[in-house]
Amino acid sequence: MTAWRKSSYSQGGGATDCVEVAGLGNGIGVRDSKAPDAGHLTLSVRAFVELLAQVKEGRTAA
C-alpha cells in the first residue's frame, strides 16, 4: 500500500485545498486529498523538485 502524506502547507488553518504526496517506484505521486480515488500525477523526482521551487517562488502557469 502506498503511504500518502499531506503537504505541510495544507496543515492547520482550515485549509481545504490539500495536496498529498507519496514516493512511488517510478517517481513522486501527487493527488488531491479531497478526491483520492480520482487518480494522481506521477512526476519524476527532478520534475517534482522543480514544481516545489516554482510553488515556493509563487509562480503559476499562464
Residue pLDDT, tens place only, 15-39: 567 889 999 999 999 999 889 999 9
Helix H or strand E encompassing 47: helix 45-56
d(C-alpha 55, C-alpha 36), whole Å: 21
Query: Does residue 50 sit within a domain?
Result: yes
Q: Is residue 40 part of a domain?
A: yes
* CA gap 39, 37 in Å, rounded: 5
Q: Is residue 9 part of a domain?
A: yes
Helix or strand or coil: residue 24? strand
Residue 62 in domain: no
pLDDT at 62 over 80: no
Is there a domain that residue 10 lies in?
Answer: yes
pTM for the whole thing?
0.75
| Structural domain contains residue 61 | no
Which domain, by its residues, includes 45?
Answer: 5-56
